[in-house]
Amino acid sequence: MSKHTSRAQPAPALMQARLRRRWGGAALAAAFSLFALSIAWHESHAPSQQSTDELPITQARADDAAQSPDAMLAGPAANGDLVKRGEYLTRAADCAACHTADKSRPFAGGLPISTPFGTIVTPNITPDPDTGIGQWTDVDFLRAMHEGIGKSGERLYPAFPYTAYTRVTDRDVLAIRAYLNTLTPVHYTPPANSLKFPFNQRWLMVFWNMFNFDEGRFVPDPKQSAEWNRGAYLVEGLAHCEECHTPRNFMQGLKSSARFSGAVQAGWHAFNITPDKTSGVGDWRRDELVSYLSTGAAPGRANAAGPMGEVVANSTQYLTPVDLRSIVVYLRSVPPVSGGETRPRHQWGNPAGDVTALRGTTITGVNGAQLFVANCASCHNWTGEGVGASAPGAYPSLIHNSTVGANDANNLAMVILHGVSRTTAQADVLMPAFGGHLDDEQVAAITNYVTKQFGNPQATITAGQVGKLRTLQ
């Protein structure tokens, strides 16, 4: 028998042991690889702890005192500073505007928001553990603000402007969270959304986000000043100005090619705020823009009403002079967009003398001049020149007024229907709503008289259009 044929062969038991060792090693390597991949995935999707959070130009504060991250978590006094800063940032973001339907239940939600796809009702964001966000973790809150994903992994609708809040730093988001934690918990479950199929399928937001959402924090532009960067951070992020002032595409995403050029929201026209000198605010002085944001009034230019009046009352009047100036600096730098107007909105109008022509005249039918004298002249003067000049509580002139000189009459009709209620540190401005005792034809008649006499005569409205505006939320 040869040497080759006499060599001992491995026993079956030994071969099985070797196979077990090999498979065990392979399994261990695979498990380690999966563990490493899991860590890498979580690291890439976890909230960044540094990034731009430490950059001073991205920190909106209630005062000029710099607070280090360590100091803000050091003890009760530091936590008080964090809450105070969070309150300021919450005002800058104007969270109360959408999350307060009933003033007796602040931040408890329930406000219906009309969209082309149905009605979305805002949620409760008080710290109530059952109906609010009391059981949310900081990670949950960050994910909602930055990615538009709720606590249970559900996709949020962009009526909540996470498309803007994604730019807000982790540090500022957590400060807002700290402030919301101090609110009185309100046990209240808002009504459910009322959306048509298939828009009630939240998972479809994955595809909407692909075309309309870029997740990521604000990155300062080193070529710009600290003031410009601060303004950009506020306008593009916390203040989410584009959500109202930028037109939308067919998917209701923002048209990036027409940023800040104006849009209609629930019947109200949010005007062009680009630096175009005719269609926008290009010929406004800086102090006029600051005054408008802080008081709601810029005599000879505009007076805030409707949603913008609420923004001033709830949000921008509380911003520091530094932040207001920064917002103006940034807005003056965006590309101007022409809206086709032939002259600025505030340059229209002349005093009227129609009241003398009404004396001894028999009025038949609905007469705009008569209705104006009966309902409006006691405050705005029968000449339309207002009462009180530029005093904080003045009854504004209808001449050289952006609302009256606009190329559509929507905002004027909405003001007549719903009135004005704007409370600031300077004045408590109140105009009664006439929608309760004037019908659609009468509101249209007053609107058309005012635009013809004091504003843009090409801006007219019909009774049918007034009726549609009356139904909007």
Delimit the domains of the chain by residue range: 56-219, 348-471
What pLDDT, on the 0 to 100 scale, is given for residue 37? Answer: 42
Kindly indicate the confidence band of residue 65, based on its pLDDT and cuts at 50, 70 and 90: very low
Q: Name which of 42-51, 284-293, 402-411 the model is least confident about.
A: 42-51
Q: How far is CA 222 from CA 52, 170, 226, 228, 327, in A?
A: 13, 21, 9, 10, 18
What pLDDT, on the 0 to 100 scale, is given for residue 322? Answer: 97
Is residue 115 within a helix (H) or strand (E), and if so which, with residue range? strand 112-115
| Bond into 198 cis (ω within 30) | yes
Q: d(Cα 401, Cα 349) in Å, to the nearest integer?
A: 8
Q: How far is CA 324 from CA 245, 275, 334, in A?
A: 17, 16, 16
Q: In what order do the strands lie in the sheet with 112-115?
A: 112-115, 118-121, 194-195
Residue range 207-263, pLDDT digits in tens: 999 999 999 999 999 999 999 999 999 999 999 999 999 999 988 899 989 999 999
Residue range 125-182, pLDDT digits in tens: 999 999 999 999 999 999 999 999 999 999 999 999 999 999 999 999 999 999 999 9
At residue 305, does pLDDT exceed 90? yes
Kindly indicate the confidence band of residue 10, based on its pLDDT and cuts at 50, 70 and 90: very low
What pLDDT, on the 0 to 100 scale, is given for residue 58? Answer: 43
Phi, psi of 385 (to 5 degrees): -90, 0
User: Right CATH number for 348-471 from 3.40.800.20, 3.30.479.30, 3.40.309.10, 1.10.760.10?
Assistant: 1.10.760.10
DSSP β-ladder status, 112-115 and 118-121: antiparallel
At residue 50, does pLDDT exceed 50? no
At residue 101, does pLDDT exceed 80? yes
pTM of the model: 0.81
Average pLDDT on 176-199 reads 94
Q: d(Cα 99, Cα 468) in Å, to the nearest integer?
A: 25
Q: How far is CA 272 from CA 245, 259, 295, 465, in A?
A: 7, 9, 19, 22
Of residues 431 and 41, the one with the higher pLDDT is 431
Q: d(Cα 197, Cα 379) in Å, to the nearest integer?
A: 48
The three-state secondary structure class of 410 is: helix
At residue 88, does pLDDT exceed 70? yes
Q: Provide, rounded to the nearest whole percent, the portion of the chain with pLDDT above 70.
A: 82
Q: How far is CA 390 from CA 301, 386, 395, 411, in A?
A: 11, 10, 9, 22
Range list of β-strands (E), 182-333 = 194-195, 263-265, 268-270, 297-298, 302-303
Kindly indicate the confidence band of residue 200, based on its pLDDT and cuts at 50, 70 and 90: confident
Kindly indicate the confidence band of residue 80, based on its pLDDT and cuts at 50, 70 and 90: confident
Q: d(Cα 24, Cα 316) in Å, to the nearest integer?
A: 64
Cβ atoms within 10 Å, residue 23 = 10
Q: What value does the mean pLDDT of the chain take?
A: 85
Helices (H) and strands (E) in the chain, counts: 20, 9
Residue range 341-376, pLDDT digits in tens: 889 999 898 888 777 767 667 677 789 999 999 999
Instruction: Give the position of tokens 């995403």.
Output: 253
At residue 28, does pLDDT exceed 60? no
Q: d(Cα 396, Cα 420) in Å, to the nearest integer?
A: 12
